[in-house]
Amino acid sequence: MQSKNKYGILLFIDELDRIKPDSGIATFFKLCAEKLVRDDMKNVAFMTAGITGAIQNLESEHGSIFRTFRDIPLPRLTITEIKKILISGFEITNHRYDNDVFKLAFDISGGYPEPVHLIGSEMLSVDKDGYIDVSDFNEAKIKLVKDVRRNKLHSILERAGYGKYQLILEAMAKHESQFVPLKHIANEIGQAQNQFSTNISNLVQRGVIIKVEKGVYSFLDPLLKEYIRNFGIIQISEEDNTV
């Protein structure tokens, strides 16, 4: 790697969230970091990528993993950036487009790159007249959650847990915005916030939702919202409606 007359080696590890906590990777990172510091090796670095909580999962193997890495938060895509991405794809394939689809794509993606790529690809696949419009978006949206991502989204729903967990996710899916305040969830499920605070924490830990700011949460995979709206939650009986 060379940048402005500086040389070095950057070791990139992708999908850190898929690595098992007991794999030894946390100890490896810690020992390597200490060795590099001792040897004054300032031109060698590790960079990891994974979902929110990946580093936290490795804490069980090595408690000082937090001192090994520094978080680099990546901002979500803006509607302007999403528009540029989609227009680039549409124009390369000689498609015209309705400007209304960009706001819809922004809303369904939550600003994450992967859903933008998926919805853009599916709009092109369902279009029949060379003009991408709202009807193409709606058809692509259904295809995306019904066929392309259905198994993965259902797996996330199962991972969330049953009973009150499903009710919380259903309440979040009813909210118009991707960013859902706890007050809305409380109103939907008919419980005070302190009655489901543990459930919220568990949903964050299980990688189903993320905390946006104090009292506001969002689906980690924004397509889960659309999945629930189309197929509903996992049905539960009254006696299963537990913490």
140-159 pLDDT, tens digit per residue, is 999 999 998 899 999 999 99
Domains of the chain by start residue, with CATH: 2-67 (no CATH), 79-148 (1.10.8), 159-240 (1.10.10.10)
Taking alpha carbons only, the member of 61, 119, 109, 68 closest to residue 89 is 119
- Looking at residue 241, the DSSP 8-state letter turns out to be -
**If you average pLDDT over residues 33-38, what whole number do you get?**
88
User: What pLDDT sits at residue 51?
Assistant: 62
What are 120's two structure tokens?
């853009």
pLDDT digits (tens, 9 = 90+) for 51-85: 666 777 777 777 777 778 877 777 889 999 999 99
Distance CA 100, CA 39 (A): 56
State the DSSP H helix or E strand holding residue 219, giving kind and residue range, or none if neither: strand 216-219
Q: Is 124 helix (H, G, I), strand (E, B) or coil?
A: helix
Higher pLDDT, 148 or 169: 169
Q: Taking the alpha carbons of 61, 64, 68, 72 in that order, is the dihedral positive or negative?
A: positive
**If you average pLDDT over residues 190-218, what whole number do you get?**
93
Whether pLDDT at 236 is above 70: no
User: What pLDDT sits at residue 137?
Assistant: 97
**If you average pLDDT over residues 156-171, what whole number do you get?**
95
At residue 14, φ and ψ (nearest 5 deg) are -95, 160
Whether pLDDT at 217 is above 90: yes
Whether pLDDT at 238 is above 50: no
- Sorted by sequence, the CB contacts under 8 Å of residue 158 that are 6+ apart come out as 234
Model confidence at 4, pLDDT cuts 50, 70, 90, reads low
Contacts 24+ apart (CB under 8 A), 118-123: 118/144, 118/148, 118/149, 118/223, 119/144, 120/85, 120/86, 120/89, 120/90, 121/89, 122/148
Distance CA 160, CA 151 (A): 14
CB 84 within 8 A of CB 97: no
pLDDT digits (tens, 9 = 90+) for 90-130: 999 999 999 999 999 999 998 888 899 999 999 999 999 99
Q: Is 234 helix (H, G, I), strand (E, B) or coil?
A: coil
Please tell me the pTM assigned to this model. Answer: 0.70
Q: Taking the alpha carbons of 214, 220, 226, 231 in that order, is the dihedral positive or negative?
A: negative
